[in-house]
Amino acid sequence: MGMISVIKSQLGLIYANKQKRLSVSIVLVIELITITPLCGYLFQCGCDWPWFGLDENCNIHQPHIKHQCPWCVSMVMGVFSTAIAIMSGVIVSSASFGRVLDQSAVKQVLIRIVVGLTVYVFIAGVMAILAIVWY
């Protein structure tokens, strides 16, 4: 029961004000839409935008390919890597930065979005390197 109350209190901090809620929501939607094309870019595997078939053209569907996409071929590595990247961006976009709080509401949202997405892409790149090494 103690873990549930900790999670509730942390979620309460993330959604403490309108700027955080809006920033987290926008960052999460952008991350969920871009994770598959980011996979395609990082691994050159064929993964694409949701409206272009997601992993339909990924090289995991071609068994003769020697180096297949590590995020798609290993469910554990794929889910772990993408979850870490996505959650990093969400957590950073909800963090309280001293200078961000001094800005107007619109600037707060924009700064949070840019910082959250930057961290997301950076962590996705780090996780991609780890996936290549591990795979």
Q: One digit per residue, pLDDT tens: the chain, 135 residues?
A: 566 776 666 666 655 678 888 999 999 999 999 999 999 999 999 999 999 988 888 988 888 888 888 998 888 999 999 999 999 999 999 887 666 666 787 888 898 999 999 999 999 999 999 998 887
Token pair listed for 132: 């290549």
What do you get for the CA distance between the two ends of the chain, in Å?
A: 38
The candidate with the shortest Cα–Cα distance to 101, out of 23, 40, 10, 34, is 23
The whole-model pTM stands at 0.82
User: In Å, how far from its chain's centre is CA 116?
Assistant: 9
R_g over Cα of the chain: 17
Q: Is 96 helix (H, G, I), strand (E, B) or coil?
A: coil
Q: Is 59 helix (H, G, I), strand (E, B) or coil?
A: helix
